[in-house]
Every structure is written in structure tokens, then in C-alpha cells.
Amino acid sequence: MTFWGYVVLRGNFRSGKRWLKAEMHAHCNLDPKDYGISQYSSEQLIRAAAGQGYEILSITCHDVNIWSEKLSNYARSYGITLIPGMEITTEKTRHVLVYNIDKGPESLDTLDKIRKLSREEALIVAPHPFYPGRTCLRGYLEKYPDLFDAVEYSGFLVRGLNFNRRVMSFAKRTRKPVLACGDIHHLWQLGKTYTWIYAEPEIQSIVYAIKQGQVRIEMTPLSWFEAAGWWAIALCRKVFTANSPPRSIPSYKIENGRRFGTSQERMESQSIHISQ
């Protein structure tokens, strides 16, 4: 992968707008739901992402915000801007990605509550919305289209089977930006499906850019062997994991009261590239 004329070096945190490689949907061993699958630490995830040229990362564990000033500074030492976020369970089973909402999951367990607590500075994204399964929004996305700032193009796709086609149709019809995300549960998923965001390497600039549609998405389908391996490992680790559940982490607060700022105008279109 060519990085368009710049190289990311540890400790060399450059300012100014440019295209930044981003993963906005990732999990680690602090996830209270998927800790048995994602058996790597947040620091290991940051180092692996930096090694593949990422400059933006959000670790979106289920119903818990693991962002901290210390972890953010650690990410910055590797040239990565760490975005605070969670994958919230709402409407009993449905998943929603929320960024910079300083409330716990109990305050976000319905879409109406998310709507009331959302604000200009927050970012709300619909993950894998049209995939089968009760965790996906499906009809709820059509019912609450104005709630979401963007929709996700999920990296869990294989050749000949792609549940993201309705995402592109919905995005075109509603003029929503599309974020390509790996939904990282294994480090080998990095570098397959991701987004380029035209922004400064700062939280508020990144969120502004997403809302404006200043994004380019790249997707590489998984092989059937990779997809089968993903599910086999997930099943085995769910059943036989030797790890203990992570200790409880307060999710009701983002350190130092970080906010994103005011919104800007949305771009008319976004560029899309699919790797074959």
C-alpha cells in the first residue's frame, strides 16, 4: 500500500490536513463480550495498526468505553489518534457505534435515548446494518435514518456473498457517508477493509471530516477459508477460552471532558475504491 508521499514514524506526529488511514470499529481483550475472541491488548492492537500505517483508531468494545488519556498518549506515540467510542447494545439486541457520548450503556439502551443524548459533537454510526442476525439494525435504520451520521461497510464479506450492497443503496438515497471498517477481532484483519479520512490528526477534525463525507473506502473480501477460520476460532474461544472476563471499566465518562466541536457542511459525494 502506498501512503501518498508520507511515512508514519513513531513519535513523529504531523499536523495539517491529509488522507489518514482509519479503523473505526475494533475490539480487544477488554471487551466484556468478545474478550475470548480478541485475545490481544489495546496496546498490541495500537502497535499492530501503526505497523500497517494507520493513523486513526477507535477501540469500540461492547458497552464499555476504554478510552483514557494514558492510552491516547500511548497511541499518539505511535502516530495514531485514538477516538473514544463504544459499540452499544440498544433496543435489547441491536448494535450501534457511538463516539464521544459521555454516558453509560444503561443510558443508551434505546434509539430514542441515543437521539436525546446525541449532539453536534457526537458521531453515531450504524454498524453492519443489513447483515442477518438480531444484533443488526435492519429495519431500525430505515425507521431512524436521521439519527445516524454514517453507515458502516463491514469488512466481514466474502466473494459472492456481500450483505453491504443495501448499505450503498441506503447511503445514496439518504446522502449518508459510508465508513469501511474491519470490525477487528483478530489482528490479521487489519489492512483488508478500512477508510481514508481527509482530516488533521485530531479528534474533532476527524469527526468533522466523516460528517462531511470526506472519506474514501477500500475493501478486500475475505477468502472463504479466512471467513470459516474466523468463525471456527470464535466458536472455540467462546466455548473453551481460559481467559477471565475483563474487570469492569467505567463507561460513563470521557476523560478531561473531551468534546468534538461544531459541525461543518457535508460534502456532496465521496470516493470509493474496491480492491479485487
Q: Residue 59 has what pLDDT?
A: 98
Q: DSSP labels for 189-246?
A: GTTTEEEEEEE-SSHHHHHHHHHHT-EEEEE-PBPHHHHHHHHHHHHHHHHH--PPPP
Q: Is residue 155 part of a domain?
A: yes
What is the reported pTM?
A: 0.84
Q: Is residue 10 part of a domain?
A: no
| Residue 37 burial (CB count, 10 A) | 20
Q: Is residue 6 part of a domain?
A: no
What's the total number of domains in the chain? 1
Taking the chain (276 residues) in runs of 10, the rounded mean pLDDT of each run is: 33 79 98 92 98 98 97 98 97 96 92 92 96 95 97 94 95 98 96 98 95 97 88 74 59 39 32 42
Cell digits for 115? 437521539
Q: What's the number of CA atoms in the CB half-sphere (13 Å) around residue 81?
A: 20
Q: Residue 45 has what pLDDT?
A: 98
CATH number for the domain harbouring residue 108: 3.20.20.140
Q: Is residue 7 part of a domain?
A: no
- Give the CA dihedral 178, 183, 184, 185, nearest 10 degrees: 180
Q: Is residue 54 part of a domain?
A: yes
Q: Is residue 100 part of a domain?
A: yes
Q: Residue 13 has what pLDDT?
A: 61
Helices then strands, counting H and E runs in the chain, come out as: 7, 11
Q: Is residue 196 part of a domain?
A: yes
Q: What's the number of CA atoms in the CB half-sphere (13 Å) around residue 205?
A: 15
The whole domain housing 32 covers 18-274
In whole angstroms, give the CA distance from residue 45 to residue 50: 9
Q: Residue 25 has what pLDDT?
A: 98
Q: Is residue 1 part of a domain?
A: no
Q: Residue 167 has what pLDDT?
A: 97
